[in-house]
Amino acid sequence: MRNEDERGREEARAQGGVRRRRVFYIPGYDPIPPRRYRELYRQEAAAQAAVSGHEITLAPAAGGGRFGWDVAARIEGQRAAARIEVLGWSDIVKGSMAQGILATYGQLIRTATTYIGTGALFRLMRLRKGPVIAALYPVGVLLVQLGLALLAAWLLGRVLAILHPWAAWGGLASVPVVLAAFRRMDGRFYAYYLMHDYAWSARWLGACPPEMEARMAVFGDAIADALQDRCDEVLVVGHSSGAHLAVSVLAGLIREGRVPADGPALSFLSLGQVVPMVSFLPRAWRLRADLAYLSGREELFWLDVTAPGDGCAFALCDPVAVSGVAPPAKRWPLVISAAFTRTLSPARWRSLRWRFFRLHFQYLCAFDRPGDYDYFAITAGPRTLADRFAGRTPSPARIERAVSGYRSVAP
């Protein structure tokens, strides 16, 4: 029976087919626990199934270890199974967000100084204004909140001055109270969250923090183990800032010879990437080197999916080319658009258009007018990523001009 199973997998793999897949999802800068991604997958898979005729069922992953879930599916008339695991770093995110109000305003100054002083901000604006506006948004909101806190202090001081001129200084006591109230309401504004996000990269000028280096080594070990498994495809999905983490993890695995030539197909799907926010910084030597290296490798297939409707991503910007490190023999990524204005119905698009944070996660969700990009067919369907997008031409609207002012790949 085992030999028959192995022959079946070999035949399926030779035809670009998949009977069993291992999927590793690397989230972006996000403090939410991994189980939220499972629930998102469950809900959106059901929604996509209703539109596309898929049959998808989820079950808890057998065994311990990393958080994940098993998927059994019938898609495009064929059955396939997948195990999806979240390579989480939400604990690191939470630690970096554990800042007081005063420290957050200090981050604001350092982050603005970094992006303006290095010239990265102005170069990023030449690519896409959306993510730059998203980067400036927390700065503006936090400054407005500080202004309102100072205004409240001044008004209270005027009232107290009626009692005694020196009592006017008591109005300043209201500043931390007002700022604390704004912070409690950050679930509406996302100003503190986004400030911590951009400060995370700016603090190290694009270099990878030591704690993240250690976590990426764990990610690499998990993927390397899967590449020794008797599955047909190992698919790595990097969303948002998780995309550039995946670039470095995969580049490291290939350099170290940990991708077997006779192993499962290795696929990389980057979604809503924000690579330039890091690669344009002066000390992003490793990331730039990894981008250049990975873009020329035959060991994997790399598909990059963004959409102009996502104001938080560098839509249709080839992350290798715009970083100025594209080698002569560049193969990847294949850059395509999720085209929200076409793949979402007019009513659905109107309901989501101004929900910028939600749109940044649309790549992981159902489309009511799906094109060739279907997250659930990719992660649970019967075809490898390379087979599914074989012959697909890149988006004609992609941006490939080298814009970064820092292009060195070593100190």
Burial, 206: exposed, middle or buried (Cβ in 10 Å; 0-12, 13-18, 19+)? buried
Look at residue 16 in the predicted model and tell me its pLDDT: 62
H or E, element range at 73: strand 68-75
Look at residue 127 in the predicted model and tell me its pLDDT: 92
Using CA atoms, how far residue 354 sits from 60, 350, 351, 384, in Å, is: 35, 8, 8, 34
- The pLDDT of 2-6, averaged and rounded, is 49
pLDDT of 391 > 80? The answer is yes
Look at residue 11 in the predicted model and tell me its pLDDT: 55
Pairing of strands 233-239, 78-86: unpaired
Look at residue 68 in the predicted model and tell me its pLDDT: 94
The architecture in CATH of the region 2-30+35-87+206-388 reads 3-Layer(aba) Sandwich (3.40)
Q: Which of 10-19, 35-44, 322-331 has the lowest mean pLDDT?
A: 10-19
- Computed over every residue of the chain, the mean pLDDT equals 93
Q: Are 131 and 277 in contact (CB under 8 A)?
A: yes
**Whole-prediction pTM:** 0.93
The pLDDT tens digits for 252-301 are: 999 999 999 999 999 999 999 999 999 999 999 999 999 999 999 999 99
pLDDT of 185 > 60? The answer is yes
Rounded to the nearest angstrom, the gap between the alpha carbon of residue 163 and the centroid of all alpha carbons in its chain is 55
H or E, element range at 44: helix 35-52
- Maximum average pLDDT range among 80-84, 155-159, 352-356: 80-84
pLDDT of 359 > 50? The answer is yes
Residue 14 confidence class, pLDDT cut points 50, 70, 90: low
- The pLDDT of 228-247, averaged and rounded, is 97
Closest CA to 276 of 329, 337, 213, 321: 321
Which DSSP state fits 312?
Answer: T
DSSP bridge pairs for 21: 82, 233
- The pLDDT of 17-29, averaged and rounded, is 97
The pLDDT tens digits for 138-178 are: 999 999 999 999 999 999 988 888 888 887 788 888 999 99
pLDDT of 351 > 50? The answer is yes
Instruction: State the Cα–Cα distance between residues 231 and 19, nearest whole angstrom.
Output: 8
Look at residue 131 in the predicted model and tell me its pLDDT: 87
Look at residue 2 in the predicted model and tell me its pLDDT: 45
Domain boundaries, the chain: 2-30+35-87+206-388, 101-117+119-203
The pLDDT tens digits for 67-76 are: 999 999 999 9
Instruction: State the Cα–Cα distance between residues 249 and 220, nearest whole angstrom.
Output: 6
How many residues make up the chain in this entry?
A: 411
- The pLDDT of 337-358, averaged and rounded, is 95
Using CA atoms, how far residue 388 sits from 16, 365, 379, 382, 383, in Å, is: 8, 19, 11, 9, 6
pLDDT of 48 > 90? The answer is yes
pLDDT of 1 > 50? The answer is no
Residue 42 confidence class, pLDDT cut points 50, 70, 90: very high
Closest CA to 313 of 251, 249, 388, 364: 364
Look at residue 202 in the predicted model and tell me its pLDDT: 87
- The pLDDT of 31-44, averaged and rounded, is 95
